[in-house]
Structure 1
């Protein structure tokens, strides 16, 4: 019997130095997917994702910028999605984190592969040219991945304080499992770095990231609407859960509505990845959650979101690891030792 699978799509920041060569290592058998993305970029004079992935050395100034990183992540993730063994898994729903919403649209069939490549490439370029501000990540979870109420209260009080300071612009960008991602202007970023309690990792400012999912990007909306045609959006084949926890069921929505959300509120309003995962798990009862590559950083936030909702009685990191050892409930395709669990073994290429 097939397992019911929820697919989770990664966002920006998941193709790093460790992922260089991801396409070459894992997707020699899926050149049709990669070629589609390359064709979109070649048509407007951009370096192809194949060339970026085949570079001798990872260069943050090249690989992490929005105009390149977005397309690289899209190509890797969509090739992973195609590689999932459909004889073993019935994909019942898709969701994603931040830019991962665009990927989820493609996985769901709401946009086709080429349409998704154009959307991701256009938006990556627009953010690179017109994005302002930045993002800071701060952890609100303990060592066992349980979200701490005192830290959530701190965040709430912090945001109340922000409203009384006219010189800064700070917003909650993403609720990411056990982390809060803030979006802010430069003055706000400086204030956050001074105001947030520090440990050995957080608060962390994200490189090459604009103030995504905040009113600071209101000016991007008309540019995005002009660059991306409504005609690329369709009825879909798989339910998709957006950054507000809303379910877009195949043939049960207007393409105008999902177009307006994708290029409107999705850019300017807070993105609740935590809620998206919780809704998907509660409504579609997956046996397995498959997180597409590249990278392996989205697995923890996904499980943290499920721990917070008590999904299947999950109580913490140790509980998850024990269950994962017995019968994996989460497969991270960005991890070489796990990706084989999700894909057809006949198509499995050499591990790195």
Structure 2
């Protein structure tokens, strides 16, 4: 059997929701590793992942908190990465969206899984404790997903103009395919939300329990993270890893210290360009597949939109993507059972 090459993509915050409740018990392939994650949380006085995932009912107030969601999302992502059948799929690179960078660290072998969990859990806890600012989401493409550079430029100019107003903090947080994630303080977010027209009955959409990730407002959190997470956690990755600038971290080409500096400084306080990460993944590695780990299924649209903006395989619209996906899938979302099955090994198999 000829293996298909794949870039693996780890999702960020907001992807463990009600439909994902119980996903660790259903899919996590290494009970001993999950028990170690649980022990690490319990040592910090936190509820275990097993208890959170096994709750009778999903609680937005609990499960979406940074100090809860980060651990759940990391574990689900890393468990899915371990579940990929390497006789079917050859992983050629990894990347992630926002906190998915922490998951991708472990997937790429730049940190052991326990240290990757420590990083994700620590940063989630610090951000929840500080909860500086917030985020709102707004689309830059229409329902057809055709790129609209003029619309994007106009929105970014608006963000810049608001940021200069007295008492207003506002900046691009994540360039997410066909969406812009904008972050700032309440005054800045309200100014943006009142200046743009409502779209699709849900945008602009303020995100609950989200801080102003990837902006200068997070500088205190980044400093705390650097105090708590030493150089010794990091090593050079075993797999190429694509960051939130679109830069590839090649095995053996960078120092662990440089990787830590990016992870706990630039990645926290500067915009995260997920679109650039997908563009680099496509152009540098030309994979047969883009495999998105769980939890959730919400990142698929952003990946497809980023590929359209890259003109990957001649795609220029949502219809083009749907046609290619129907002919021979190029995007696999492990959160969907019908897509998960063909790329995973049976649970418990070696």
Q: TM-score, normalised by structure 2?
A: 0.96
User: 1:35 deviation in Å?
Assistant: 2.0
**Is 1:204 aligned with 2:198?**
no
Q: 2: CA distance between counterparts of 1:54 and 1:321?
A: 35
Q: 2: CA distance between counterparts of 1:45 and 1:71?
A: 14
- For 1:75, the equivalent position in structure 2 comes to 75
Contact 2:160 2:171 in 1 (8 A): no
Matches within 5 A, 1:168-179: 168-179=168-179
**Is 1:152 aligned with 2:163?**
no
User: 1:277 deviation in Å?
Assistant: 0.7
Matches within 5 A, 1:65-214: 65-199=65-199, 200-214=201-215
Matches within 5 A, 1:314-325: 314-325=315-326
- Residues 196-230 of structure 1, C-alpha deviations (whole Å, 9 max, x = no match): 22111210000100000001111112201011111
Q: 2: CA distance between counterparts of 1:65 and 1:105?
A: 22
- For 1:55, the equivalent position in structure 2 comes to 55
RMSD: 1.3
Q: 2: CA distance between counterparts of 1:341 and 1:208?
A: 35
- For 1:3, the equivalent position in structure 2 comes to 4
- Residues 109-130 of structure 1, C-alpha deviations (whole Å, 9 max, x = no match): 0011000010011001000111
Q: 1: CA distance between counterparts of 2:25 and 2:42?
A: 19
Secondary structure of the 1:263 match is helix
- For 2:24, the equivalent position in structure 1 comes to 23
Contact 1:33 1:75 in 2 (8 A): no
- Residues 1-42 of structure 1, C-alpha deviations (whole Å, 9 max, x = no match): 111100000000000111111112223x43133223212212
Contact 2:138 2:203 in 1 (8 A): yes
Secondary structure of the 2:291 match is strand
Q: 2: CA distance between counterparts of 1:198 and 1:269?
A: 27
Contact 1:24 1:53 in 2 (8 A): yes
User: 1:154 deviation in Å?
Assistant: 1.8
Secondary structure of the 1:219 match is helix
- For 1:332, the equivalent position in structure 2 comes to 333
Q: 2: CA distance between counterparts of 1:282 and 1:331?
A: 18
Q: 2: CA distance between counterparts of 1:133 and 1:318?
A: 37
- For 2:267, the equivalent position in structure 1 comes to 266
User: 1:330 deviation in Å?
Assistant: 0.6
User: 1:326 deviation in Å?
Assistant: 1.9
After TM superposition, the runs of 4+ consecutive aligned structure 1 residues lying more than 3 A away are 345-348
Q: Name stretches of at least 5 consecutive residues in structure 2 with no aligned partner.
A: none
Q: TM-score, normalised by structure 1?
A: 0.96
Count of equivalent residues = 347
Q: Name stretches of at least 5 consecutive residues in structure 1 with no aligned partner.
A: none
Contact 1:14 1:296 in 2 (8 A): yes
Q: 2: CA distance between counterparts of 1:73 and 1:226?
A: 24
User: 1:163 deviation in Å?
Assistant: 4.3
**Is 1:309 aligned with 2:288?**
no
Q: 1: CA distance between counterparts of 2:312 and 2:345?
A: 28
- For 2:301, the equivalent position in structure 1 comes to 300
Q: 1:65 to 1:346 in 2, by over 3 A?
A: closer
User: 1:336 deviation in Å?
Assistant: 1.7
Q: 2: CA distance between counterparts of 1:42 and 1:251?
A: 35
Contact 2:133 2:212 in 1 (8 A): yes
Q: 1:188 to 1:256 in 2, by over 3 A?
A: same
User: 1:156 deviation in Å?
Assistant: 2.9
